[in-house]
A and B are shown apart, each in its own frame.
Chain A
């Protein structure tokens, strides 16, 4: 794609010089461009490659050999150990518990923030009210608030919610999950993600034909019936974009995770991974660390592979029509 302008006979080079030199230039350009592309691709893939090969090597091989060499006798041992036995701080039961922690946090957080974003986009485009643009502007502004500046105020809010949970617990015997670190993280990620999900859906629904909504109104469908029966079923591309975006961000988040669930049973995968690497028991087990890192990265990879082809399509739709 990037090479396109150079192919075109309209480039000044091709005009200024004869047919032959023009062709020579074109080939040189090709070589330079593809060379650069390959170089950057290699640079990007190198760490992944090292991680992957290291995770299948034995410790002996790592200590003796070349970092880039393929494993002599590939073994799944490090993966098994990372999953089930390695020490995270003082407990040595592998990272599997934390993997599930992350999953329990990420699934509700992604679904809730995506659905709320869709609802916001629907209202901001199809049920316009006085000042809708101001509201959208503020939502957009939320996208630019840095994580760090949210940390302390959010901690205060979570503290209050936690205390309310305790009150509920004492009064009714259930806290409704308020104060639970996983619930806290879901809440934080939903709030922080709302600006982005709203932006995505608003731009998509802006180009969504309003006549469909009008037709449904005449058919007697209510606000939520239109949302559920007309808007959502026709939102697959932007739904996929939003889910990938939110999933990647929330799964990979370290700052919120370490700030609000940095210790104990409910810590998410990212924090646990950091603790695995920092737990020193004499020798550093690079192969186990790499396997753990790979496991931590797999879900996002999987999401891209499964849904990726919709990603570009959805982004384009939003970009062109929005």
Chain B
């Protein structure tokens, strides 16, 4: 049985359905990341788990116990807010100790707990300051300290890093991961940043307009997106999604053909997933391939079963230090290929690119669902 279970949860504000039949679960000590574009209902879901918003239907169970109707303070959770929500009138120590003070924990014990948390997060020298005297990164730490000191069953994080600058965000991300390894508490973490989701999660739930799109491990989400939305949302640079037409009869080889400018269409054999694609023969599908599966022939994955090469007209070359990105046009779309840093390429030239078809995915353009 999972530690935190969300069962057919729906939530409406007035007449608007914000969350629709969400089913999720995470094992004890797991790191669940809720990811999705802004306004898709991530914070609302987190607030439902915290008990800050009443749910409309469904169930939330923590450690087997239905928490419906349980006050937020009785759910044994701790939350870190996007704005940090530090009490401006209290010192850092006061902020960390407020919950204990309310629960009537004796002063001596409170001071010990503050010292312990301050040690963990290295904020000992800030304890007497007011939140207004702290930098963004320091506020973030204090907000985490206030959550840590509760030693809860579940941590809830609502976009805790979104107000930090890029460098600090990466540092804090690592630190949160380290913290999770040490305390091993179950975490539910909300972000709109797919890189944060990939790096932190043991399980990812992708949300869109209040509907769960896909729920799985980071690798599953990345390699086997359930639909075009997930494929497009996860990964940076994003997966290339281009039109391709399926060729093949009721038997024999199945190929997809992709338009190229100034050249006959590129025809790729897709026998690995041929049977799934066969019903689409004569029709268009969406062909998805990640930039790292579209490389220069020397850089192609040697363990892949099916690598096909094709000539493509290069529009733009973007050296990025560790890699070189090349933009070409395929199937009427701009397509990004990821080449080795020292790949020699000139814009306007034709270059030979390797398609790793093991990693290719196909979607039905009519409903954006995954075919193969």
A residues with a Cβ closer than 8 A to B are 209, 211-212, 214-221, 225, 229-230, 233-234
Contacts and interface: CB of A to CB of B under 8 A. Distances in A.
A316 to B, nearest CB: 18
30 contacts: A209-B85, A211-B81, A211-B82, A211-B85, A212-B85, A214-B50, A214-B52, A214-B72, A214-B81, A214-B85, A215-B79, A215-B81, A216-B87, A216-B98, A217-B52, A217-B71, A218-B52, A218-B72, A218-B77, A218-B79, A218-B99, A219-B102, A220-B99, A220-B102, A225-B102, A229-B98, A230-B87, A230-B89, A233-B89, A234-B89
A46 to B, nearest CB: 45
Interface string B75-106: 00111011101011100000000110011000
Interface of B: 47, 50, 52, 71-73, 77-79, 81-83, 85, 87-89, 98-99, 102-103, 146
B303 to A, nearest CB: 49
A229 B73 CA distance: 17
B159 to A, nearest CB: 12
Contact of B50 (A218, A221, A230, A234): A218
A225 B87 CA distance: 13
B102 A221 contact: yes
Given A225-B102, A234-B88, A234-B89, A218 B83 contact: no
Given A219-B99, A220-B102, A212 B73 contact: no
Nearest to A235: B89
Given A214-B50, A218-B73, 9 more contacts: A211-B83, A211-B85, A214-B47, A216-B98, A217-B52, A219-B73, A220-B102, A221-B102, A229-B98
A215 B149 CA distance: 14
A217 B85 contact: no
Given A211-B82, A214-B81, A219 B98 contact: yes
A215 B77 contact: no
A285 B12 CA distance: 73
A195 B88 CA distance: 28
B24 to A, nearest CB: 21
B103 A209 contact: no
A215 B85 contact: yes
Contacts of A221: 98, 102
B83 A217 contact: no
Contacts of B71: 217, 220
A225 B102 CA distance: 9
A208 B89 CA distance: 13
Nearest to A214: B52
Which of B77, B85, B99 has the most A CB atoms < 10 Å from its CB? B85
A219 B99 CA distance: 4
A19 B56 CA distance: 69
Contacts of A212: 85, 87-88
A229 B52 CA distance: 19
Nearest to A220: B73
Contact of A220 (B47, B52, B88, B103): B103
Nearest to B83: A211
B340 to A, nearest CB: 47
A218 B103 contact: no
A100 to B, nearest CB: 35
B47, B77, B82, B102, most chain A CB atoms within 10 A: B102
Nearest 4 CB-CB pairings of A with B: A220-B73, A219-B99, A211-B85, A233-B89
Nearest to A233: B89
A107 to B, nearest CB: 25
Contacts of A216: 87, 98
A229 B88 CA distance: 11
Given A225-B102, A233-B89, A217 B73 contact: yes
Contacts of A217: 52, 71-73
A212 B77 CA distance: 16
Contacts of B52: 214, 217-218
A242 B71 CA distance: 34
A216 B89 CA distance: 13
A98 B283 CA distance: 95
A75 to B, nearest CB: 50
A209 B81 CA distance: 11
B78 A218 contact: yes
Contacts of A219: 73, 98-99, 102
Nearest to B80: A215
Contacts of B146: 215
Contacts of A218: 50, 52, 72-73, 77-79, 99
B100 to A, nearest CB: 9
Contacts of A233: 89
Contacts of B82: 211
Contacts of B88: 212, 234
Contacts of A211: 81-83, 85
Contacts of A229: 87, 98
A217 B78 CA distance: 11
A218 B98 CA distance: 11
A225 B50 CA distance: 19
A218 B81 CA distance: 11
Contacts of B99: 218-220
Contacts of B103: 220
Nearest to B75: A218
A165 B99 CA distance: 45
Contacts of A220: 71, 73, 99, 102-103
Contacts of B72: 214, 217-218
A88 to B, nearest CB: 46
A229 B95 CA distance: 11
B11 to A, nearest CB: 16
A47 to B, nearest CB: 43
A221 B74 CA distance: 11
A234 B52 CA distance: 22
A225 B101 CA distance: 11
A18 to B, nearest CB: 49
Nearest to A231: B89
A220 B81 CA distance: 16
A214 B82 CA distance: 12
